[in-house]
Structures are given as C-alpha cells and as structure tokens.
Structure 1
C-alpha cells in the first residue's frame, strides 16, 4: 500500500481519540483522510468490537470510499467495509466500517438513540455543511451527553474553519495534515466575459485538449448545462484520439456515475462534466486538467412563500480551491478558472450552510420524533432560522405529523420512518387506505428525481401524469435505447431508476408490486393535493391560477391542463408575483371537498357592492384563499347587513344619504354650536359623522340594504335626536334657522361656514337697522351679504353701522343708476325698510 500524507498524523489522531471523545481533523485534498482514517481505528481498544460509521455527503463518494478501503484490505465490499446509501446497501455480519450517507445516520439514531454497537461516528467533508450533517452532529452530541458518554465523534474536512467546530465539540483537539498535492498551474480570464457559461466551457475544453495532456474535469452549475455541453462536444471533431464524454451529477444511476470516475482505456482521453458532486471525497482517475465555470446551483427556501427554488450562485473561494486541487492529486496539473482575479475578490470565503437556506420540514419532524420541540435544546454550529422553522412546524401540523403543541403524532412517526420528505411520506400513507398506494409510490419516485423527459423546456409539458404513464410504459415493454412517449424523448436509464425506487417503496410499505398498474392515473391530482395542499390552484378568468396559499401561479405554455378548473402544482419556482408551474396534475372539485372537508370553511360574506349601491349576501365554501362554491344567502344576519351597509356609506360618503335643506342646515348649525361649546354640543362635522356612523345612524338602518332604502330616512329627525330635549329650545334661540329683518321678512341663516354664518338679504330690507344682527348669546355677528334688487351681492360686511356711514353712499350711487325705480333714500337709518320696489305709503 503506497504511503499517503495522512499516514504521518494517524498516530497522533489515534492518541487524541484514546484520551478524548472528540477530535477535529483538517487534511488537505488528496491527503487520504477518507480512505485511511477509518481503517486506522479498527484495532483501537476503545472500539471494543463496535462499528465505525463514516458519513459522506454523496452516494457516489460513499460507494467509492467503501470500495477503495475494501480493496486495500484485499476484500470485497460488504465484508469488513460496507456501505449504505439510498436503494443500495452492501453490508454483512462481519462489517466493521459502514460508509453511509447522512440521512441514514438520522434513521439509525431514531431507532437506537444510544448507538449501542457504534464506537465512532466520522463526519467526512463537514465543510459542505449539509443540513443532514448538522442535524446528525447535533443528535450525536445529545446522545453522547445523555446516553453514551464513551461515543467518539470525529469531524473531518479539507477547508473547514476548525476552531468553531472544536468549540462545539467542547474544545476538542485539532489535528492537521498538510497533505500532498502536485503543483497546479492556474489560469484566469483577462477580462470579464458575457458569453454563456456553456460556450465558455466548450471553448476551454477544446483549448485544453490541444494544449495539455491528461483527462479533463469540468465543473458546471447543473445537469441542464452538462447536457448542453455534452451535446455540443458530441457534434464537434475533437481530433484523432478517442474522447469519452462522461456526465457526473447526483441524479445519474450508480452505473453512469461509476463510468465517469473509472480510468480510461489505453489510448483514450476522458472529459468529465460534473456538478459540485466532484469537489470532494472522490478521485476521478486520470484527471490533470480542471475547468471551473465558477458557478454552482443551490436550493433557496422562502418561508414567506413556502417554496424552494434553485439559484445559480458563485462558488465560494474554498470550493474553488477544492476544485483546483482535483487537478493536482495524481500529477502536476492545470486549472482554468473562467473568471477574473478581480471577480475572485468579490467571492465569499466559504459556502453558506444549507441550514440557512433550505426547507426545514424534514428536520423539524426528526426533532419532534427525537423528542425536541425547541431546537435550542441541541447544539448547533449555526442556529436554525426562526421563520423557516416556524413555517416547517406549521406545515407538519397541517399534514397531521405534529399536534398543536408540537408533539409528534403516530402518523408523524410513520412519516419519519419512511425516510421520504414529509410531503411525499404523508401522500403515500394517505393513499394506501384509498387503494392508491402503488400510484403514490410511483408519483413520489417521479417527483424525487429530475425530469425524465428529454429536450423540453421547464413547464412546457407540465402534466405529471404523463411521467407516471411513461415509466409504466417503459416497464411493460422491451424499450429500445431511445424511447418516446407522446412524441417526447425519454431518458430510459432514469425511467428504470425511478421504477426501481417506486418498487422499493412499494415493498417498504407492503404494497403489492403490481399495484399501480390499473386505470388510476386520474387520481394523481388528488394524491398531489395531499402532499401539497398549499399548492392546490384554482383557475382565474385570465387563465392564470390562484394557489391555496394566496400566491399567484401560471402555466407559461398553453397545454391540455391549462383549461383545468383546479390543479395541484407539485413543482414551481418562486420568482416574481406569480410562480411558474413546472409540474402539476388536475384535480376534481368533488375530490377536494371530500378529502379536505375538515379544512374547508363555510363563511357568510355580506358586503357592499359599490356599482349597484346595495348589500350582497353570499354563502361561500373557502379552502384557504380559494373560493370553491358561492351562492346567494336568503336570510343573512341583520347585524352583518347593518355592518355592510355602514361600510358602504363610509365608502360612498355621506352624500349617499337623503339630505334635505332642513337636515343639511341642522347639521351645519350643530357644527357651529360645537365650535362655540365643544363640551355641550355634539360634533356633527362630516368627518365625525363618518367616523361614528354606527352610533348615530346605525340604529335607524335595520332592515335596509341599499341606497334606495336609505331614502326613507329622515336625517333631520335623526340629527335632532343627538340633542337632549332640554337643549332644543336653546338651539333655536342661539343658532336660529331664520332672522327677521326690518322689512318683516324671515331670512334663512347660512351656517355652511361655521366660523362665520351668513345672512344674505336685500339691502333695502335692512333700512333703519343700526347694528349687525348677532347670534349665540349675542357673541357672533352674522356676515351680511347685502344684495341688489336682482339678489346679487353688492357688499359683504360684519359691521352694518360702518357700512351706513361710509360705503352706502357709493353703493347707492351705483344702484340708483341701475335700478332707478327702486327706493334709494339719502338717510338709510331713517328710511322705511321694504321688500318691494318702494315702501308702501
């Protein structure tokens, strides 16, 4: 066995774990930590025949690490060294080291919280900070504190900031290995490029194949970019030497992944197109050239919408260094970075922990099963985001996994035992008693993998039923290497992987293998509604949809399900005000009403309809934001009618009421009096009347529901009722409706300006009156609008005496010329007032 850099520090690491129960190992890429460290502890006395568990963040890395360690012992996988990953287990009765993916550790802990037959748990590549790794470490720490004080924990990483982790492990020792890497010549772009990332990668691959020797590992954001680059490379002439193009990403089958990391045949070169799956843990044989696009795809969860979207983000500097290191593991290499040195200065130092940006429903369920309702009871490297955790708990209560106090239910325990996401686990458990368990398993498998349709744009063929039909078709027939369903090319290996997953779950749930082959495809929408009740969508008039949660959604491409009155969106994005629907199935209203009867609320809606100026009364069945049914309500509650009518008056304004001149004058008189004595007179201003409609007007509105009904009101009597009986005489005295002038006429007082009430009177009717008339205890002079015989104002004054003495004579000269037949005396104070052309003799 060749010597690796990690070998030099293994004695120190073993010594630390003999003396303590925790340690942190920081080892550079290529040091050999993944394959040498577990073997070094097999004969340690504290192991006492117990197993060693090593967690890997990815299935491919777990399988490869187990194979390498088994080979170094001269054994097959499943003897001393084995692995457990989803749908693939290779362990035996003699297995001492199990390489497992992170979610499997959680299942082991829930089954056996003390991990009685485990001596050491190793968290490899912890710098990736996956949600399951953080959860697994938190549970192991509490298990050791409460149940197993001798349980050893080792955290390993190549780029980890070790001090915070060591502090979390109660000041665990830090052991470092410098590793051994060959020099890597690193190239940057000279200037920022606006060219699409696929074009940049293709051009750089061509350049590297011509200039450099060895195999190429190209990092791209996701499977879509990988497929496009692969298609372009296949079309190109890449020289005389055979070139093998090998995609490598998480959703490929294990055979396709193994093919990508296997060494080339003699005389062959290899181009591996990978996502961040190839950053750590595994060595891709023959690679001496790395092409790094500088991008990766990560999930971002929004507690506001309850949706997760994939975002393409810049890699962190630590991830970029990991990627570059792949070129120098076996020999000197070269790394092409498709960004500038200036852009690198803006990149984050390390990757954001997944716990900050992901859906926490699965974690919240695991904590509840563990017996923890407050995550603060556990030790975390980063605290859980409160909003996301609260949203997750709310979803679990809705699915029946938790009760209102946050305690796990029997249904929740069964959901957790499945290992599926809470939504899909709930869907299958609900489907089984309906005789739809097989379909639910197939649907869950389809939703758990990438799209099996080739060459379709996101949302273009959104009907998830066609995917289920496609995997059934592939399973029933001897499909050719290229198969089609409804004219769409299928990814056959993925179809078979999905069917294998569905068969695994059918077996796990005790469902007959052939169940799901009946004509049950119409039930996909119903099952999806159980998994995604918040994404039940109702078609609007414009062809868009309203989700049960209240958000908008749309099918970007017109297709058969675009006309469905109701559908369930299994996959959609979280961009803008309307989410684009990628996968969905129609659902019948009757199915929604029967399945969610306990969540459908019947409400009486009594409201004002402005256009008709009337109150409408409706009975509604509402499912969240969706109105499922609506009908006229024959006998609405009188109080509801009153409230709606008052709302209508508030919206339309007081002009909706039947104001007479008498009523309007009384309202203005009260405003005037309130200005004089606020404590003794009611506030009848429009603002206060609108604000207090229920108090002064409400009792008079019972039985009314429209603007036409309001015409029966007597506003004068209603306003008069605001004044105590004993003050009504004072009202007439201090704010009279009319003033008798010297001519004997009774002239109405205009109170529209409460600061200055107006008396509009012909000048001739005021002859002989020496002082301005006053109201309100003689304190407020009226503003006199003195009028011509034609009732046009010729003078405005609050000082009648001064007018007679000064302005009258100029006014008289003007009026006498225009109205010669009228009476214009030289001495107005001695003249006889008249409401005629001339006074009677």
Structure 2
C-alpha cells in the first residue's frame, strides 16, 4: 500500500547520502515510523550496518517492530527486532532494532563508538522525553569525536524543525504533508465541578449512537481508565452488548495491548480507553472517532522541595491536534473535545520538554558515566535547569553513585546504571542483596513503578490506604489473574536481572524489612513524627497523612510517594521503619555535627556532638575534647554577643583605653581602641591571649590593660606617658589623676587651694590641649569649671573667695592667690 511518506523518500535518501544528519517532519499517518527504516536499509552509505530507531514508549517500540516484520513476512527478531527495558527480541540477522531511548543510552555507555551501527533514528522527537534529549546529546558528541560516519535522523509529526536542524549542524529539513481525511470537531465542554470520568461516558454513548467505527478515548491515567471502564460496563451491557472495552496503557501485558490495537470482528465495535501513549506512532486499527478529555498526567519535579509529583495538566494545542488526527487515518472521522472553542484558543502551543520539568537524577548519573561533569559540556536543545541539576547531584552523592569532589561515577554508581532503572530503585535493589532481601526489594520496586495494579482492598478485605506493606500483600493475594501475573512477571524479571534464585515463593517472604529497603531508595524521606501528629522528613520537608491512617501512629516511617503542595506535603505511600534499623546505618545516613557555641545562660563555651539524620536531630552528648581553635571562635562570638563589658574592665584598663583614644584623636597613626573597634578586631588583639579560656569567670584572669598596651609600639608607650599622663602634679605636691573620659576635653578635678601659685592652665599633648579644670571646694564640690586659669584668678576668684570664706571660714583664702602657698590642708604649713 502506497503511503504519503513515499513521496519524500528520494529527497531523504539524497540528503543522507550527502550529509551526516537530517530532520524529517511528517504529518500523522504519513507512515514515517514503519516505512523509513525499511526504505533506508539497503542504502550504499549504510554499508550493511544496523539501523537503531528510538521510540519514546515501549508499547510503540513493540508495535512498530511487529508491523515492519509483518511487512517483510517475517517474525520479530529476524530482520527487525526490538529492545525495551527488561525485554529483547533480536537475532543474529537483525538489521533494524527499535529501542526505547534508555536502551540507546546503555548502548552508548557500553560502546561509545556504536560499532556496527550506521544510522540512529529519533522518532516522535516532538515528545521531548528526557531520555530522547539525553540520547541525542550523547549521539551528537559521539558523532563529533568518535564516529564521523554515523548518521542521525530526527523525525517528528509536530516539531519546530529549525532548532533541531541547527543543533545537528544545520541539517537538511524534509517535510511530508501526509494523508489525512477530514475530521469534524465537536466541543462538549464539561463543568469544572464534574470529574472527567463522570462526564466522558455520556459522550461515548453519544458517539456510539451517532457514528460508525471504533472509538479512541484519551484519558489522563490508569485511575480514570478504570473508573470509565466500570461505568461503561454498567451502561453498555444492556444497551450495546456488542461493544468491547479495551484499556490501553504502558503497564498492560502484551496480550492486553494487542487486544486494544487489533481490529475486532465485524459484528463488534471497540472503545479503546487510552493514556497519551496512543497519541503518536501506534496504529489503533478501525478508529473513526476520537474523544479527548484534554488532560494528560505527567511527572513534574519541584526544585523547591526536591520531590516529583504526578500532575494532571491540560494538553497543548499540538497534542490536541495529534489526538484528533487519529480519527482520520482510514476515513473521515469525528473528534469530540471536552472543552470549549474559547478554551481551545488559550491552549499552550506545545508541551514543555520533560528535561525542564522532571527529576534529573537518572540524567546526571548517565552524564557521570559518560565522563561529563556538567551538562553544559554537551549540546542540548534545552539545557537542564541548574536548580534541578544541583538537587540531582546531591541525591546521587547521598546514594553513593557519584563522587562529591568531581561528580564522577563510583563503582556503585556504575552498577546502579547497568540496571537501567531510576537510581533510587537501583540503589535499593543492590543494597538489598547482601541482606538476603533481594526478592522483597524486587516486589517493592514493582509496586513503586507499576502503581495501583490492584484496587482498594487486599485479599482479606482490608483497606490498603497508604501502607506499602498492604500494597505488597494485595499484589500477592489479588484474585485478579491479569494483575497478579503482571506483578509476578515484573518481579521475576528483576530477580533475573539481579541473578536471584527465582524458585523462592514470593508470598512467603517476610515484610519486616520493607522500611529499611524503602529507606535505601528514599534516604531523604525517612520521617519522624512530631508532637502535632505530622512528620518531619529527613530532607527538611514537613508531611502529613490524608485522612485516617494506621501509619499515622508510627514514630518513624519512610515515605515513597508524597506531593509538594502547601507547607506540609501529603503522604500517599509509606511504611514504618524501626529506629534501631536507622541507627545501624550510621555511616550511610547518620551524620555527626559538632556544635561549639557560647551559652548565654551559663556564660561559657559549650561543646556538643549532635547526631542528625538529615534535618532530623537525633540527640546530642557533651564533647570531651573540643578543638581549641573552635573553642576560641565560640569565646570570641560570646564577647561579640554579650558586648565588650564581658571583659574584665578594671579602672586602670579603662583609663588606659581612654588615654589611647585621646592620642588617637590627635594622631591618626595610633590604633583605634574604642569599644566598637575592639569588638570588630577581637581576633587581632584578644585572641592570642585567651586560648584555653572557656567562660566569663576564666576571662577575669586576663589583664586587659596589658593587652591594650601590647597594641602600642615602645615609642608610642613612651609618648603616651609623656603626652597623656595619668596624673598631674599640682603646686601643693599632690598627684591628681586626669580623667580622659571626654577625650576631647580631659578633666583635672582638684581643690582650688592646691592650685595657689599656679598662673596658667596645665596643658598636655605637647602643649596642644589645655586640661579642663574642675576647681573644687574643701568639700570636693565644683565651684568653677575653666580651661583658662589665669582669667579665673583675675576675674572670678574674688567672687568665689567671698562665697567660700563664708562657708569655710577656718580655711585659708588669700587675697593674692598667685603669691599664696598652695595647701592640701585648711591652712598652709606654718600658717595661722
């Protein structure tokens, strides 16, 4: 059968003959996925090498390989084969391998030269999966550095071709218009208060009544698929018994997937309930009607919390067109949209690339294995965001997958990467093996990766809730044969991957290590119960259970599934863990933090050793021999906290400080010893003299005056004694202390009678500063303040004398103070 893509095959062949790379944009239904690899298989430049074609989804990879093999009248595994995670169908004669992107990454990591491969095809690249972006970045570097003969072809139905072409070195862009029958669009907007699973069954019934052919219904996820299936079974059993309901999503068995993709008998009609897996690549035969919920469920990573969450989003305009196009493959069709025309005009043009939204731990582990220390070393269509990159690094370091110094992969990280699953789960599986808990770890891995295969109760009728143990029990005991088989086969595949004896009976495996194993996968989500019943995760986030949960009484739990909404995330899946199991992982999970600090209550330095599980404090004990340098730092911090008054300021120390401050005022070369300056320079002048001191009481032994003296040179000390003396000898012979508290106007407080005979005001600082004289009465009370003693004797003394003589008649008050003898007593020596 001729396909629209056939028209551009000559142009594509010529482009790849002349250049290394090309970009092909082909409309849905053009036949690019199944036609292109076969058409290029015998090109001379391929030289009998293999073609590797990447598909974003396992279901599409299997389907495309089967279709091409059927075209050649061969079985899968002959000329055409496929490789998906944990499943391979290739043979020695296989020339075309359809693989999922993670498989290409493994191929590149094991052989960067891709020996024996001549062409890499990236199909449906517009989906922009994380592994597709990574695979293309690694392939481009391998082409540039190791294999300039290998060719790269990027294919898509809805893609802005120019940025990709530029990334590929200005590659040729080829466009195929494709073949598409007309599709009528009918809008059936639903109210916001009506759930999609409640609104869509009536639209399905309407479509069955008004149109011929089979229906493809797009729903956001498995939960909605199950609920719509239940409602349809009730409605259609009596009204349309010939209608067959077929779920379609990536978690189904191959038999279930084939049932959804294959045509039904002439007397039957088919309603396929699908996730976005059917948007591209897959051919669902017989479809003439598409019913689009307009929703998709994606994983979104939050750098703010370090957590991923499944988020239901509105599809982009490009996705809506892809979905609509599925109705026009074989004949004119109809598309029902559960939103309004106005809402359609507001849709985002394209879905954001996964690399901008998701957990980057798998990406960073692959880069470390590739030898790249930072994403910026590769060429990307969109470079990964820095915040998510940093959090991914921190997780991988915590899991022991990469080295903290240069982010290179450790031997353990290499073992994790070989498993081809998320680093968290890979770490759990590898750590479980030495414990003899490999089987249980495989079961937990399947529960985490497959989601809710079983419904709300286990085999005993108990509600499952958020308890991981009950989920495992429910998987083991479910009466749903399909779910049990899928679960068992998934576990067995992992056991084979880990070389675990498969003869064990899973149901007999104890669940007591569930918490420990889950903690290996989520060491940042070990949680302790708070007094208010909520939990603190070791990663620092708060969390709480939704509704009544028996687990909410547990002191310690490990959280596997949690959202990141609000102040406290909501716990959706968890299991208890024993504190003893946590403490046994000292080297892996528990950190010791020495806390040496100034304790204001005891006025001393305290040293403690704190044990912490991430953000959770487990307790502390005194530290017997704290490092002297850290004790000194804490002591100085105490001085800063309490203020300079914490130090032993004697009267002599304060006077010395004030004298130096006086000299500093007049000569800039002198050190600043004001309180603020001293606090700012404790490490310079105080630290050398207080080593070993831990408390305020011990500080009292420090001679602060000597410490201040040590800041001065010998010449400055001599000059200080000369220009800022501690005392001044007055005519009476007394040595009177000088008060330097006011450094701009030092004070000499002296009894008036002791200055008789002194004509001028005493001066200091080499004569530059006159002392401020506080002239005192015999009772030591000021009677005059002056800086001009000569003027006082001439103008003011006689008035003061009259007053003092009246109050102190027994004292000596001469008529001429400049000729009188100074005295410390009431009368001068020999006086009468």
Give your verdict on TM over 0.5: yes
Partner residue of 1:464?
468
Question: Contact conserved, 1:300 with 1:308, CA < 8 A, in 2?
Answer: yes
Partner residue of 2:700?
711
Give 2:521's match in structure 1, choosing from 524, 528, 531.
531
Shift in Å at residue 678 of structure 1? Answer: 3.7
C-alpha distance in 1 between matches for 2:400 and 2:350: 38
Partner residue of 2:124?
125
| C-alpha distance after superposition, 1:392-431 (max 9, x if no partner) | 5665565455566665555444333322223322332232
1:102 maps onto 2:101 in alignment: yes
Unpaired segments ≥5 residues, structure 1: 482-491
C-alpha distance in 2 between matches for 1:32 and 1:225: 31
1:424 maps onto 2:428 in alignment: no
Unpaired segments ≥5 residues, structure 2: 458-462
Q: Tell me, what secondary structure is at the counterpart of 2:620?
A: strand
Residue 589 to residue 8, structure 1, CA distance change in 2 (3 Å)? same
Residue 808 to residue 527, structure 1, CA distance change in 2 (3 Å)? farther
Q: Which moved more, 1:749-758 or 1:84-93?
A: 84-93
Partner residue of 1:647?
637
Partner residue of 2:544?
555
Partner residue of 1:487?
none
Question: Contact conserved, 1:241 with 1:268, CA < 8 A, in 2?
Answer: no
C-alpha distance in 2 between matches for 1:764 and 1:270: 124
1:597-636 pair list within 5 angstroms = 597=587, 604-620=594-610, 630-636=620-626
Question: Contact conserved, 1:604 with 1:620, CA < 8 A, in 2?
Answer: yes
Residue 264 to residue 614, structure 1, CA distance change in 2 (3 Å)? farther
C-alpha distance in 2 between matches for 1:655 and 1:281: 79
C-alpha distance in 2 between matches for 1:794 and 1:293: 99
Residue 598 to residue 70, structure 1, CA distance change in 2 (3 Å)? closer
| C-alpha distance after superposition, 1:619-639 (max 9, x if no partner) | 455666665563223344444
Q: Which moved more, 1:372-381 or 1:232-241?
A: 232-241
Q: Which moved more, 1:37-46 or 1:740-749?
A: 740-749
Shift in Å at residue 690 of structure 1? Answer: 1.7
Residue 119 to residue 688, structure 1, CA distance change in 2 (3 Å)? closer
Question: Contact conserved, 1:564 with 1:586, CA < 8 A, in 2?
Answer: yes
Residue 168 to residue 684, structure 1, CA distance change in 2 (3 Å)? closer
Q: Which moved more, 1:724-733 or 1:615-624?
A: 724-733
1:195 maps onto 2:192 in alignment: yes
Question: Contact conserved, 2:29 with 2:178, CA < 8 A, in 1?
Answer: yes
Partner residue of 1:181?
180
Residue 494 to residue 204, structure 1, CA distance change in 2 (3 Å)? closer
TM-score by length of 2: 0.80
Residue 757 to residue 149, structure 1, CA distance change in 2 (3 Å)? closer
C-alpha distance in 2 between matches for 1:176 and 1:134: 22
Question: Contact conserved, 2:82 with 2:99, CA < 8 A, in 1?
Answer: yes
Partner residue of 1:450?
451
Residue 576 to residue 334, structure 1, CA distance change in 2 (3 Å)? closer
Question: Contact conserved, 1:460 with 1:556, CA < 8 A, in 2?
Answer: no
Give 1:780's match in structure 2, choosing from 769, 773, 776.
769
1:726-741 pair list within 5 angstroms = 730-737=719-726
Give 1:754's match in structure 2, choosing from 705, 724, 743.
743
C-alpha distance in 1 between matches for 2:801 and 2:226: 101
C-alpha distance in 2 between matches for 1:314 and 1:805: 100
Partner residue of 1:660?
650
C-alpha distance in 2 between matches for 1:8 and 1:170: 25
Q: Tell me, what secondary structure is at the counterpart of 2:324?
A: helix
Question: Contact conserved, 2:292 with 2:335, CA < 8 A, in 1?
Answer: no
Partner residue of 1:280?
280
Residue 216 to residue 636, structure 1, CA distance change in 2 (3 Å)? same
C-alpha distance in 2 between matches for 1:703 and 1:506: 60
Question: Contact conserved, 1:291 with 1:338, CA < 8 A, in 2?
Answer: no
| C-alpha distance after superposition, 1:35-72 (max 9, x if no partner) | 33334345656667665443221122223334444555
| Pairwise CA RMSD | 4.9
Residue 189 to residue 792, structure 1, CA distance change in 2 (3 Å)? farther
Residue 609 to residue 462, structure 1, CA distance change in 2 (3 Å)? farther
Partner residue of 1:63?
62
Question: Contact conserved, 1:822 with 1:837, CA < 8 A, in 2?
Answer: no
Aligned residues between the structures: 814
Residue 175 to residue 694, structure 1, CA distance change in 2 (3 Å)? closer
Q: Which moved more, 1:822-831 or 1:92-101?
A: 822-831
C-alpha distance in 2 between matches for 1:341 and 1:657: 75
Q: Which moved more, 1:243-252 or 1:461-470?
A: 243-252
